[in-house]
A and B are shown apart, each in its own frame.
Chain A
Amino acid sequence: MARDKTLGEVLRERGISRRGFLKFCAATASLMALPPSTVPAIAAALEKARRPSVIWLSFQECTGCTESLTRAHSTTIEQLIFDTISLDYHHTLQAASGTGAEDARESAMQENWGEYLLVVDGSIPTANPGYSTIAGISNVDMLRETAAGAAAIVSVGSCAAFGGIPQAKPNPTGAVSVSELITDKPIINVPGCPPIPVVITGVLTQFLAFGLPELDHLSRPMAFYGTSIHDRCYRRPFYDRGQFAETFDDEGAKKGWCLYKLGCKGPTTYNACATTKWNEGTSFPIESGHPCLGCSEPDFWDAGGFYQALSIPTGDLPRAAAYGVGGGLLAGAAMGALNRVRKNRAVQAHEKVTIDDLEKERKP
């Protein structure tokens, strides 16, 4: 049966030379921020990887994540890996529809029970199952049914990972993330609105080669979400020297100064944008002059405002006073003092970190 071939065998059949394969493994190591010494291990693991069946379910989503994924199209091994992984079900990409498509999903599930990878994008409405259905089946039911036989679940995009824009106030559909519904399967969150294309394929490649990757407290792979945008931002020297753009067209903005005061969420956002970048490494929002939206963090739609600086609590202080306090904090490099544990706790409790919290931390 075709599924019994290893990735190595499939690549050889397609005429990929060992050198081509090793190039890909080197690129994969680089992408996952692994040292070059791991390349032989990656090569050995990928060679032996078997074709897992992958079922992709799309719920309340904008299809941006699928669009992002299909831009990871350098027609190299990533493409082959996608052929290899036997994508057995995907609304947008598959040719089948209606009962034919649902039958395909069910037979893929039965044939690979306990072993298939379930990939989900979009949030799941719980207020009324009728808000989002596929072939008459509610998202909740389809998720529960399909998750039952999955080896692991990958929640692609902030909607599947954290609820995303549907979950933003007032959350009319009762939208929830995958992990709020499924609690008995390993879940890998790959958030972002959308996630960077090579991050999506990198996670799937990593899963193929090594199984479940190391995850952070929000179940995001450490390889791609281990450092904050702020820590890798090329504009960091300006932040450190207190040189900020105050408006979008002032001298500071033209000189490429730090966008903190214009609302950049870089300090509290974990993603690979500052290093891996977008559009095949061309650029990322900050480099194009726009503050980071924090799109790979939970509740980023309700985090105050895209153009309000992090140290300013929403609606608590008059603007002038807020900037004054903000300025004082900045002078003390307060963001550096923002306790990561506190932030994580706040995030998990859906609290906003207030000026008071920051002030407390500053005091010795």
Chain B
Amino acid sequence: MHYTNPTACSGASEDVLTHNVLPLLHEIRHALGKWLESGDPTVIDLRAIPMAPGEEDELLARLGSGEIHARLSALGDSEIVETAYPGAWLVTHRNTAGEIIGKYIEVCDIPQILKAPQEDVRAGLQRLQTQLG
């Protein structure tokens, strides 16, 4: 880890760790098992869990990336990435200013936000009908 301004950095010392990375990985492990058994999805809000600088990067590095990398453009860009563990997705929401407004691990077959919502389909159908006369 490299910090250009030690006084401004939060916790340059290596021993300021929350040690939340392993428990989170175990939580994901349990969630994957739960999904296989009962089909119940799990959503973990990463911003609700305190992590020292570098720990979140460590968690994401250990999760890796898989076969799907989706970008959603709605009121800003969002990234939906399947991790190296199918069924465990990393969802990052940004607003129009590019600021992160949400970061989640979703354990499910597909994050809800990727599915086409009924009302959007209805609105699109109307537009298509109009276009086709």
Task: Please give the residue numbers on chain A whose beta carbons come within 8 Å of chain B beta carbons, in ascending order.
Answer: 12, 16-20, 22-24, 26-27, 29-30, 33, 35-37, 74-77, 232, 234-235, 237-238, 253-256, 275, 280-281, 283, 287-289
Of B6, B16, B50, B101, the contact of A27 (CB 8 Å cutoff): B101
Complex CA–CA separation, A12 to B124 (angstroms): 12
Q: Does the CB pair A36–B45 fall under 8 Å? A: yes
Q: B residues within 8 Å of A by Cβ?
A: 6-13, 15-16, 43-45, 47-48, 50, 52, 72, 74-76, 78, 93, 95-97, 99-102, 104, 112-113, 117, 119-120, 123
Decide if B9 touches A256 in the complex (CB within 8 Å).
yes
Asked if A23 meets B113 with Cβ closer than 8 Å, knowing A234-B10, A234-B16, the reply is yes
- Contacts A256-B11, A281-B99; A23 near B93 (Cβ below 8 A): yes
A78 CA to B126 CA, complexed, in Å: 28
| Residues of B close to A29: CB separation below 8 A | 45
CB distance from B28 to the nearest CB of A (A): 14
Give bound CA distance, A76 to B100, whole Å.
12
Nearest Cβ in chain B — how far from A283, in angstroms? 8
Bound CA span A27–B94, Å: 9
Q: Check if B10 sits within 8 Å of A74, measured CB to CB.
A: no
Do residues A26 and B119 form an inter-chain contact, with CB atoms below 8 A?
Answer: no
Instruction: Give the docked Cα–Cα distance between A253 and B113 (Å).
Output: 44
Q: With A74-B99, A253-B7, A254-B7 known to touch, is A23 a contact of B74 (CB < 8 Å)?
A: yes
Q: Which residue of B lies closest to A234 (CB)?
A: B10
Tell me whether A19 and B117 are in contact (CB under 8 A).
yes
For A20, list chain B residues within 8 Å (CB).
Answer: 74-75
Name the one of B9, B12, B16, B95 contacting A74, with C-beta atoms under 8 angstroms.
Answer: B95
Contact B7 A23, beta carbon cutoff 8 Å: no
- A17-B120 contact, Cβ under 8 Å, with A30-B48, A232-B50, A256-B11: yes
